[in-house]
Amino acid sequence: MKSADDIFEILKKEFGDSILGIDKETPTEPIISVDPLQVYKVSKFLRENSDLQFDSLMCLSGVDDANGNKTNNADGDEIIEGGTFSVYYNLHSVSLKHKITIKVSTSRSEPKVESVENIWKSANWHEREAFDLLGIFFLNHPDLRRILMPYDWDEYTTEVSRHPLRKDYKNPEFYQGMKVPY
Amino acid sequence: MALKTEHMVLNMGPQHPSTHGVLRLELEIEGELVRKVTPHLGYLHRCFEKHAEAMQYNQVVPYTDRLDYLASISNNLGYALAVEKLMGIEVPERVEYIRVIMSELQRIASHLVAIGSNGADIGALTPFLYLFRDREHILSIIEETCGARMLYNYIWVGGLSHDIHPDFVRKTKEFCNYFKPTIVELDNLLSYNKIFIERTANIGVLPVDTAINFGASGPTLRGSGIKFDLRRDDPYSIYDRFDFEIPVGKGLMGTVGDCWDRYYVRIREMEQSLRIIEQAIDHIPDGDVQSAIPKRIKPPKGTVYKRVENPRGELGYFIVSDGSVNPFRVKVRAPSFVNLEVLGELCKGYLVADIIAILGSIDIVLGEVDR
Amino acid sequence: MGLLDKEFSDGNIVIAKVDDLFNWARLSSVWQLGFGLACCAIEMMATSMSHYDFDRFGVIPRNTPRQADAIIISGTVTLKMALRIKRLYEQMPEPKYIISMGSCANCGGPYWEHGYHVLKGIDRVIPVDVYVPGCPPRPEALLEGLLKLQEKIRNESLRKKSA
C-alpha cells in the first residue's frame, strides 16, 4: 500500500517532465497531473510495476473545465474559446488496495488524449462516452464512435449542439423532424 | 467449386422481450454460433449528467433514483455519501442504521427481479410470479416509510427524508422470518432445476483476469470466484460493524464463472442481506434523522470519487465541485454500463439462445447503462 | 355490458348490434405489445404479475407488434427510440390503441427542461388514447388507465373509430 506522495515520487523518478505535478489542495484525495500525450506510457507503468499494480480502472470521466473566454459566434450563440478539457482516471489496485487519481488536461480547440483502452479494457466505453458527450479525441482508440447519442446526430446539428455535456451546448431545434426543446 | 459463405448479421432489440429494456445487440452468427456481439446503447439516454449540472445538490437526489430504478435507495446512498465526503458531514447513528437496513432490503428486492427475469428469459415463468409476490412485501414495507413504491427520494445529503414508520421494525422482522423459507423454496424451484442448470451451467464462462481487466464488479465479478465486495473491502457507512459472508461462484454445477454461478451468488447474497438486517434492526438508536442536513449545500472546491456496492456492482459517483450550489460535473460509474461491456467477450462461440441466458445473468438495468 | 341483456329466454341466442359485438370482443382481449422502456416498465411488469394480475382484464403481452392490439409506452422516450416506436406502431394492425404510461411518456416528465435527448411527449410522434400520470404510476393507476381505454373502445362504431 502506497500513499499518493509515494506514487508521485515513483512516477516523477521514472517519467520526469511527463508528470506535471500533484495537487493536494483538494478536500479529498490528491490528484497527480500527467501530460495527455504520455498518459499511455504512465498508465502502463502504473499497471505493470510490482509496487503499484493498479489493475482496475474504477472510473474515467471527461470534464469541461469551462475556463476559457466567453465570446459570441456568428449566430449570436455564446461559446467558450480557449481553455481546457480534463480527463480524470480513478485507479484502484485490487491486490494492494491503494487508490490514486490521475488527471490530464488538453486544449479545448484540439482535445487529444492518448487512449488507455489497451491497458484497461473498461476504458473503452468510458472513452467513447467522453468522446460522444464532450468531443475529446482518444488517440489509438480502436472504435471511437458515438455511444449514447444517435450515430447520425452530427447531420442534424451545428457546431454548438454537437457535444451535449460542453458548457456552451445549445439544443438543436429539430432532430429527424422531432422537436428537441420542450 | 467451393461455395462462398459469410457470417449472417442478426439484429436483436431494441424491442425484444429478453434484452431487459431497450438494448440493441448486433449479432454476427455462423449458423447458430455467435461470432461477434456489438451492443448499441443510448436508447434510454436521459441526460442525467446534464441535469445534475443544472440542479442544486439536493435536487439531484430524485434523478439518482431513476438511474438504477430497481435499487433507487442504493443510488441515493452513493450520491449522499459522495457529497457528504466532499463536505465532511458526519451523519447521526440512527441515520446510518436506517440507511443500511433500507439498502439491504432494496438489494433483496432488486435481486428478486434479477433472478426472476433471468429465469423468465429462458423459459421458467413460474419463479417470476413467486418472486414478484415476495417483492411486493418489501415494496409495501418501504412504501409505508417513504410513500412511493419504486422511486423513493429517501436518502438525502446528511440525513433522510422521513423517519421510519412505527411499524417498520415489526414488519421487517416479520418479513425476515417469512423470507427465509422462501429462499429454500426458490432453490428447489429454480436453482436445482434440471432444465435451468442445463441452460446456464458451463455457459458464458468469465475468467478471473478478464473480469478484472474489464472492470466487472458485483455478482458478475464474484461469480468468477473473487471475494471482492466494497462493503468489506472499502467499507462505507457502518458496514464494518456487521458480520456477513461474501458468497462467490464455486462452479458447483459446471465451470467457475458460468451463468449458473452468477445466478447462485445472488441467491446467497439475499441470505447475507437478511443477516445484516437482522443484526441491525434491533439496534437502531434514537435520534433525529434530519439533524445533520445542512441548510445550504455548498461544498468546497474539489473533486470526490465515492463508490458503494450496488446490487449490480460498484456504483461510483465522481463529482467536481466549483464551490457553488450546483455540482460542476457529476459522472456516474454505473455498474451495468461496465458489466455490459464484457458481454462481447462472454458470448463468443455460444449459441444464439445462450445470449439470453448470459445477458440475464449479467443483470443489466438500461436506465443505468444509458443514464 | 349490455350485450347479454338481450338474450332470448330459451337461451343460446343473443341479439346484438355488430358494433357492440366487435367492441365487446376487442375490449375484453386487449393484447399489449410486450415492450418496456424504463422505470415504468417495472411497474407494468408488477401489474401483470401475481399481485395485480393484468390477465383478468384480458391483457396478455404479445412479443410481436403484428399480433398486438395495444401498446403501453412505459417510460422515457428518447429521440433515438422514438423512431423505433413509430416503426413498431406502424407495424401493428388496425384497430390499435396506445396508453401513454408515466410522466415521461406524457410530456417528458422530470427530463422536460434539460433533456437534450428526451422526446417531450410520445404524442409528438404517435397518437395517444389514454394518458396515465405518475412517476411511475402505481399499478392501480395503470389498471384505471386500461379501464378508461375499455370504456373508449365500448363506444366505438365500425364506421368511425373514436380514437
Q: Which of residues 134-173 of A touch C (CB under 8 A)?
A: 148-150, 164, 169, 171
Task: Look at residue A41 in the predicted model and tell me its pLDDT.
Answer: 87
The rounded distance, in Å, linking the Cα atoms of A21 and A30 is 10
Q: Hey, which chains touch A, using 3+ CB pairs under 8 Å?
A: B, C
- C-alpha pair distances (Å), C40 with each of B152, C27, C133: 14, 23, 11
B67–C contact, CB cutoff 8 A: no
B41–C contact, CB cutoff 8 A: no
Would residue A93 count as lying in a domain? yes
Q: B316-325: b or e for each residue (b if 16 or more CB lie within 10 Å)?
A: bbbbbbeeee
Q: Furthest-apart CA pair in chain A: how many Å?
A: 57
- Average pLDDT for C151-160: 82
| Cross-chain Cβ contact A58/B42 below 8 Å | no
Would residue A119 count as lying in a domain? yes
For residue range B67-121, list pLDDT tens digits in order: 888 889 999 999 999 999 888 888 898 999 999 999 999 999 999 988 988 888 8
Query: Chain A: residue nearest B338 by CA?
Result: A122
Would residue A155 count as lying in a domain? yes
A24–B contact, CB cutoff 8 A: no
Over 70: is that where the pLDDT of C3 sits?
Answer: no
The rounded distance, in Å, linking the Cα atoms of B6 and B36 is 13
Q: What is the 3 state secondary structure string of B68-94? A: CCCCHHHHHHHHHHHHHHHHCCCCCHH
Would residue A180 count as lying in a domain? no
Task: Look at residue C144 in the predicted model and tell me its pLDDT.
Answer: 93
Residues of A in Cβ contact (< 8 Å) with C80: 149-150
Q: Hey, which chains touch B, using 3+ CB pairs under 8 Å?
A: A, C
CATH value at residue A55: 3.30.460.80
Q: Find the CB nearest B46 among C36, C63, C76.
A: C76
Task: Look at residue C22 in the predicted model and tell me its pLDDT.
Answer: 86
Would residue A18 count as lying in a domain? yes
Residues of C in Cβ contact (< 8 Å) with A180: 79, 116
Q: Find the CB nearest A31 among B45, B303, B338.
A: B303
Would residue A37 count as lying in a domain? yes
- Average pLDDT for C32-42: 85
Q: Furthest-apart CA pair in chain B: how many Å?
A: 84
Confidence band of C55 (pLDDT split at 50, 70, 90) = confident
The rounded distance, in Å, linking the Cα atoms of B119 and A95 is 35
Q: Give φ, ψ of C72 to 5 degrees.
A: -100, 110
Task: Look at residue C154 in the predicted model and tell me its pLDDT.
Answer: 86
Q: Find the CB nearest C138 among B50, B63, B149.
A: B149
Over 90: is that where the pLDDT of C4 sits?
Answer: no
Confidence band of C147 (pLDDT split at 50, 70, 90) = very high
Q: Hey, which chains touch C, using 3+ CB pairs under 8 Å?
A: A, B
What's the structural domain count of chain A? 1
- DSSP secondary structure string, C86-125? HHHHHHSPSS-EEEEESHHHHH-GGGTTT-TTB-S-GGGT
Half-sphere exposure of B313 (CA within 13 A, CB side): 30
Over 80: is that where the pLDDT of C10 sits?
Answer: no
Task: Look at residue C141 in the predicted model and tell me its pLDDT.
Answer: 92
Task: Look at residue C75 in the predicted model and tell me its pLDDT.
Answer: 87
Over 80: is that where the pLDDT of C6 sits?
Answer: no
Query: Chain A: residue nearest C112 by CA?
Result: A182
Over 70: is that where the pLDDT of C2 sits?
Answer: no
Residues of C in Cβ contact (< 8 Å) with A171: 116
Q: Pick the more confident residue, B261 or B17.
A: B261
Assess contact for A153 and A143: CB atoms under 8 A.
Answer: no
Euclidean distance between the first and the last CA atom of chain C, given in angstroms as a whole number: 20
Over 60: is that where the pLDDT of C162 sits?
Answer: no
Task: Look at residue B231 in the predicted model and tell me its pLDDT.
Answer: 87
Between A and B, how many CB-CB pairs are < 8 A? Answer: 92
Bridge partners (DSSP) of residue A62 are: A87
Q: Exposed, middle or buried, B285 (CB in 10 Å: 0-12/13-18/19+)?
A: exposed
For residue range B168-195, list pLDDT tens digits in order: 999 999 999 999 999 998 888 888 888 8
**pLDDT tens digit at each of 182 positions of chain A:** 778 788 888 888 888 777 787 877 777 788 888 888 888 888 888 888 888 888 888 889 899 888 878 888 777 778 888 888 899 998 888 888 888 888 898 888 888 888 888 888 888 899 999 998 888 998 888 888 888 888 888 888 887 888 888 888 888 888 888 888 88
For residue range B284-329, list pLDDT tens digits in order: 888 888 888 888 888 888 888 888 998 988 899 999 888 888 999 9
Task: Look at residue A17 in the predicted model and tell me its pLDDT.
Answer: 77
Q: Find the CB nearest C81 among B14, B66, B149.
A: B14
Q: Residue A162 sits in which domain range?
A: 4-168
The rounded distance, in Å, linking the Cα atoms of B224 and B207 is 6
Over 70: is that where the pLDDT of B1 sits?
Answer: no
Over 90: is that where the pLDDT of B201 sits?
Answer: no
Would residue A176 count as lying in a domain? no
- Average pLDDT for C97-118: 89
Task: Look at residue C131 in the predicted model and tell me its pLDDT.
Answer: 92
For residue A171, give how far its alpha carbon lies from the nearest alpha carbon of chain C (Å).
6
Residues of A in Cβ contact (< 8 Å) with B228: 94
A21–C contact, CB cutoff 8 A: no
Query: Chain B: residue nearest C50 by CA?
Result: B129
For residue C154, give how far its alpha carbon lies from the nearest alpha carbon of chain B (Å).
30
For residue range B227-285, list pLDDT tens digits in order: 888 888 888 888 888 888 889 888 888 888 888 988 999 999 999 999 999 999 888 88
Query: Chain A: residue nearest B367 by CA?
Result: A148
pTM of the model: 0.90
Would residue A173 count as lying in a domain? no
Domains present along chain B, CATH in parentheses: 8-370 (1.10.645.10)
Task: Look at residue B111 in the predicted model and tell me its pLDDT.
Answer: 92
Number of C-beta neighbours around residue B54 at 10 A: 13
Residues of C in Cβ contact (< 8 Å) with A150: 79-80
| Cross-chain Cβ contact C117/A169 below 8 Å | no
The grid coordinates listed for A32 are 497527480
Number of C-beta neighbours around residue B6 at 10 A: 7
Over 80: is that where the pLDDT of B21 sits?
Answer: no
C-alpha gyration radius of chain B: 21
The rounded distance, in Å, linking the Cα atoms of C123 and C103 is 12
The grid coordinates listed for A86 are 480534463
| Cross-chain Cβ contact C114/B130 below 8 Å | no
Assess contact for B175 and B165: CB atoms under 8 A.
Answer: no
